[in-house]
Amino acid sequence: MRIRIATRKSALALWQAEFVAARLRSMPGVSDVELLPMSTKGDEILDRSLQKIGGKGLFIKELEIAMQRGDADIAVHSMKDVPAEMPTGFCLASTLERANPVDALVSRDHVAFADLPLGAHIGSSSLRRQAQLRMLRPDLKIEPLRGNVNTRLAKLEAGEFDAIILAAVGLQRLELDHHITEQFTTEQMLPATAQGVLGIECLEERDDLRELLSHLDHSPTVQTTVAERTVARTLQASCQSPVATFAEIADGKLRIRGLAAMPDGSESIRDSIQGTPDDAAALGDRLAQRMLEGGAGELLERAAAGG
């Protein structure tokens, strides 16, 4: 079987696609794997926030169109960029083992978070990160920051910011982890839904691909990803909502934590739930329902309306 992978052109997206390609090339029955690098609207429009131009789904739309046209067979995604509701006709065919899920501080001169000066300028376009940063340090001045990893690092080096926040896994995959000043614990900052997870998307009708790709599934990651994405789906959160959720399995138990907040950090709702990993979807739904009963829906509506 020949497999064509639709991928964004960024260095990180290409790393991820090549990582999957290497796994596929080692599988029986796979004769050839080809990468099809593509530019997406999310990559091209950098002068406006993702919230204003349609959300992170813009990073994957062109890849899905390529699969519909028959130009590509699969697409590899950072699962934190994939909307909680898959579009009709597409499916998540494989969920690979989760890598580092946490956020990292990258600061000039490697100044620790606690030692950043009063009113320090921090670069981050994520409302989830903004809310949690302001809960930790209300004095910080947080400004939008978009572009690929190297673009963001260049803006920091140019003195536009005192520090920026990035997913630790992206820096590690690109061998740029020497830039990391410190990594936030999940108690300090809950990650984005499925951060650190790679997923493979294909057309729902491609039974041949779905069977092959299922062998790349990592069962515990499937369960934690299902749990986190269920929380986001039930809360009707987009990739840009100030929502965080993190699930982990320890001692045979699945623990899910959730957060919904105002972007300025002034209000938040936190909750957690624990149960058996086989009940991942039900547990995620139950946690989100409890958060909604606690006022998360109204809070997120106000957040979406700008307060």
Residues taking part in catalysis = 81
Query: 238 to each of 12, 106, 235, how far by Cα in Å?
Result: 22, 26, 9
Structure tokens that stand for 129 in this block: 């990160």
Task: Give the DSSP letter string of 243-293.
Answer: EEEEEEEETTEEEEEEEEE-TTSS-EEEEEEEE-GGGHHHHHHHHHHHHHH
Helix%, strand%, coil% for the chain, nearest 5: 40, 25, 35
Structure tokens that stand for 163 in this block: 């520090």
Structure tokens that stand for 266 in this block: 């002034």
Number of Cβ within 10 Å of residue 219's Cβ equals 11
Nearest Cα residue to 302 out of 270, 261, 271, 269: 261
Query: 130 to each of 6, 140, 261, how far by Cα in Å?
Result: 31, 10, 10
Query: 296 to each of 224, 251, 259, 288, 289, how far by Cα in Å?
Result: 22, 30, 9, 9, 9
Cβ burial of 237 (10 Å; 0-12, 13-18, 19+) is buried
Structure tokens that stand for 105 in this block: 């501080």
